[in-house]
Amino acid sequence: MDSLKKKEKIIHTITTTSSNESIIDIGTEQNCINPSCFFCTMKEPDSMIRRAGLQSCFKEMPFRDSQALALVLSGLWNIAMTQPDDPEFPSLGVFHCMASLIQKGIDNRSWLLKDQNIYIPYYAAHIIGSYTMNKVKFAEKAVQSGVIPPLMDLLRGKISWVEQRVAVRALGHLASFEKTFDAVAMYEEDVVKSAMQLASNCLEVVYSKFVGVRDAKERLKYHSDLLTRGVGGLDTENRKAEEWACQLQRWSLNLLNCFACKERSLNLICRQDFLRDLCEMWGGLVMNHVSPSGVGLIRILCYSKHGRKSIAESKEVVRSLCNLSRSSDDWQYIGIDCLLLLLKDQDTRFKVIEVSALFLVDLVELRSLGNRSNVGDAIARVLLFYYRQSMLKLKNSEVQKVMQEIWDLKVERRKREKTMTEEMVEERRVLAGLIKQQGNHMFWLGNIEEASVKYTEALDLCPLRLRKERVALYSDRAQCRLQLGNPDAAISDLTRALCLSTPANSHSKSLWRRSQAFDIKRLAKESLMDCVMYLNGCIKTETAKGVKIPYHAARMISKQMEATWLFANLKSKTSSNQSSRVQELDGDSENYDKQKHDEMMRIMIEKKGLSTIGNEGVEREMERARSKKAVVARSMEGRWGSGLLRAEGEIL
């Protein structure tokens, strides 16, 4: 009974919503005389009569030429989204009805473009995807009802990217169940190739077909209506389109995961060009907390012999995994897992060790990462398992030095320090502190190289168990290396400091310094994530009132969000091809970019645990940063002119 009331409430909401909110300018007559009216049938109090009427509705819908059909499907979609586990509609033939409607839209172009039928394939595929999300018995019923062939046509792009999005979602759900996987696998090569193409090209398609089209008149109206439900202008459409593009890519990867988990079509998925594409499929802050995106599929591939072999042959992929393993990204552990799987395999170990050892050496003192413990020890064991054999085979002197360093740190030095008494430890702590003070004094005098030497002396002297003291020493030495123009060495030291911090990746100074070092190396994503974590630490150390976002952090975040924006590369390419723009369109673009940054800041605050500052505080701080930008801009423009001002880049 509660389920029926919820459905009636949804139907009432759909039929009474104002026409500017969706496709609902088609209304139903108050005194309806149509015996097959879906809305009237839903209001029938007798459950037996109502079920019979609904079953009849589902049978007749594909053959009915009604202006209200799009409205009916909109209502069905809302019910399916809110009650995906309710068995009533699946038991009455909703899957066969939706499959028939999709096929009709594909086969009958004139019908599709009549009235508001253009919305029907989208809603029909979404209804299938919602009902097959959780229940295997619904998935089996859907397959038996023939939903896969029409979904495959949508996946191939028979209509547009909007329908591809919901089709790949539904097929991903069907492929995720053991009992329905084979039905999808009947189209295996077609499915895998289409999903790969979507994952690689969907951002370009969404940008060129929608986001990059600034004039609303040139956009497909039904796309705009679906994205915004009829409410909002260009900015709202663009933000929603960006989210949908992320989903389209993520759901395509999810479909590929279903085949990769079963080691199916690996010869296609492991193509070198596609593996390189996977490394760039990040999803930004919008999806980073939800899905590992491309690196998630790479990890699945690392569990298979064929996958490891293909990944080991790509230096770009291995280096991308190495960068991820030394970042504060949510999926840092996935990068570590992938490298360890490659190093454990005798066939791939010596293909990747000369690159990965230079990165993993900085992680050998990492205790825990999330719910994983003794991560550093696991890394050291894998690297040192064939220590003698590795030293003989390795030709790179730098890698040999790194392996020797790990051996000395994890084996020799541990042995020596095991016999140290508490008095000896305290004596060394005091002595290391004195040397550190000397280093600090030299640093402030401008003797950067001498300061770096002093910090190294203190590190050699400081016992391993004094983790807090070693965090500060590594971080200070890294600052020297940054000043000396050696960002690689700085990143190494800062990663070691962050591994020693408790919890991992929590030392604010090291996060900010590493964000700067990553910025110098043009690793925008890594720089952004460190800056976000640094901001997290800044906010948590303040009281809830009067929280201030540091200006330098706001500037860095703005810069890196621009660089890592989902469509950044595509926008750059488009801009280079356009020699001039209309001034009012530039205004729209600037307004969208500002709102995009504001939206990303909100996502960052919500998803990265920055909970001590409320929405009003976020608005206040972003406005403060923009005001500060204006003050600085006026000052600089007066001194150096607007040309240099533009080169300074944007600040929140």
Looking at the chain, the whole-number percentage of residues with pLDDT higher than 90 is 66
Per-residue pLDDT band at 626 (split at 50, 70, 90): very low
Q: Evaluate whether 196 touches 274 at the Cβ level (below 8 Å).
A: yes
17-21, 144-148, 536-540, 624-628: range with highest mean pLDDT: 144-148
Nearest to 376 by CA among 315, 417, 332: 332
Which residue would you say has higher pLDDT here, 136 or 580? 136
Going 402 to 405 to 411 to 414, the CA torsion angle's sign is negative
Per-residue pLDDT band at 604 (split at 50, 70, 90): low
Average pLDDT over residues 29-39: 59
> For residue range 417-463, what is the model confidence (pLDDT) as tens digits?
999 999 999 999 999 999 999 999 999 999 999 999 999 999 999 99
481 to each of 398, 478, 516, 518, 628, how far by Cα in Å? 18, 5, 12, 13, 31
- pLDDT surpassing 50 at residue 652: no
- Copy the structure tokens of residue 405: 């360093």
Helix/strand number for the chain, H first, E second = 38, 2
Report residue 283: phi and psi, to 5°.
85, -10
Q: Given this model, what pLDDT does residue 644 score?
A: 25
Kindly report which listed range (25-29, 42-46, 381-385, 573-577) carries the lowest average pLDDT score.
Answer: 25-29
Which residues have C-beta within 8 Å of that of residue 586, sequence separation ≥ 6? none
Give the C-alpha separation, 144 to 139, whole Å. Answer: 9
Residue 369, beta-bridge partner list: 372
Q: H/E element holding 231?
A: none
Average pLDDT over residues 479-501: 97
Average pLDDT over residues 5-20: 53
Per-residue pLDDT band at 43 (split at 50, 70, 90): confident
Q: Given this model, what pLDDT does residue 259 score?
A: 97
* Amino acid letter for position 520: I
Per-residue pLDDT band at 284 (split at 50, 70, 90): confident
Q: Given this model, what pLDDT does residue 581 score?
A: 43
* Amino acid letter for position 341: L
Per-residue pLDDT band at 159 (split at 50, 70, 90): very high
Give the C-alpha separation, 259 to 240, whole Å. Answer: 29
CB count in 10 Å sphere of residue 14: 21
> For residue range 381-423, what is the model confidence (pLDDT) as tens digits?
999 987 777 777 777 888 889 999 999 999 999 999 999 999 9
Which residue would you say has higher pLDDT here, 346 or 8? 346
- Copy the structure tokens of residue 91: 């038991």
Q: Given this model, what pLDDT does residue 11 score?
A: 57
- Residue 177 is given by DSSP the state S
- pLDDT surpassing 50 at residue 63: yes
User: What is the residue-averaged pLDDT of the chain?
Assistant: 84
Give the C-alpha separation, 163 to 160, whole Å. Answer: 6
Q: Given this model, what pLDDT does residue 364 score?
A: 97
- pLDDT surpassing 50 at residue 233: yes
Q: Evaluate whether 209 touches 222 at the Cβ level (below 8 Å).
A: no
Give the C-alpha separation, 528 to 565, whole Å. Answer: 11
Q: Given this model, what pLDDT does residue 197 score?
A: 97
DSSP 313-357: T-HHHHHHHHHHHTS--TTHHHHHHHHHHHHHSTTTHHHHHHHHH
Nearest to 476 by CA among 505, 429, 441, 504: 441
Which residue would you say has higher pLDDT here, 283 or 151? 151
Chain centroid to CA 51: how far? 43
> For residue range 516-557, what is the model confidence (pLDDT) as tens digits?
999 999 999 999 999 999 988 887 765 545 567 788 898 999
Which residue would you say has higher pLDDT here, 627 or 321? 321
Which residue would you say has higher pLDDT here, 643 or 78? 78
32 to each of 14, 57, 315, 607, how far by Cα in Å? 17, 15, 67, 48
Q: Evaluate whether 594 touches 625 at the Cβ level (below 8 Å).
A: no
Q: Given this model, what pLDDT does residue 68 score?
A: 84
Q: Given this model, what pLDDT does residue 42 score?
A: 85
Per-residue pLDDT band at 231 (split at 50, 70, 90): confident
609: left (phi over 0), alpha (psi -120 to 50) or beta: left
Nearest to 536 by CA among 611, 603, 597: 611
Kindly report which listed range (115-124, 321-330, 390-399, 470-479) carries the lowest average pLDDT score.
Answer: 390-399
- Residue 158 is given by DSSP the state S
Average pLDDT over residues 252-259: 97
Average pLDDT over residues 336-347: 96
Give the C-alpha separation, 322 to 279, whole Å. Answer: 11
Q: Evaluate whether 242 touches 571 at the Cβ level (below 8 Å).
A: no
Give the C-alpha separation, 391 to 403, whole Å. Answer: 8
CB count in 10 Å sphere of residue 409: 15
Chain position carrying tokens 């791939």: 348
- Copy the structure tokens of residue 544: 């809830």
Kindly report which listed range (133-147, 552-566, 609-623) carries the lowest average pLDDT score.
Answer: 609-623
Nearest to 628 by CA among 534, 560, 553: 553
Q: Evaluate whether 498 touches 518 at the Cβ level (below 8 Å).
A: no
- Copy the structure tokens of residue 77: 């979609």
- Copy the structure tokens of residue 387: 């220590």
Give the C-alpha separation, 143 to 145, whole Å. Answer: 5
Give the C-alpha separation, 261 to 300, whole Å. Answer: 6
> For residue range 564-592, what is the model confidence (pLDDT) as tens digits?
988 888 877 766 555 444 344 444 445 55
Q: For 523-649, where are the alpha helices, taking DSSP H only? A: 524-540, 551-564, 568-577, 583-607, 615-640, 642-647
Longest dimension (CA), the chain: 95
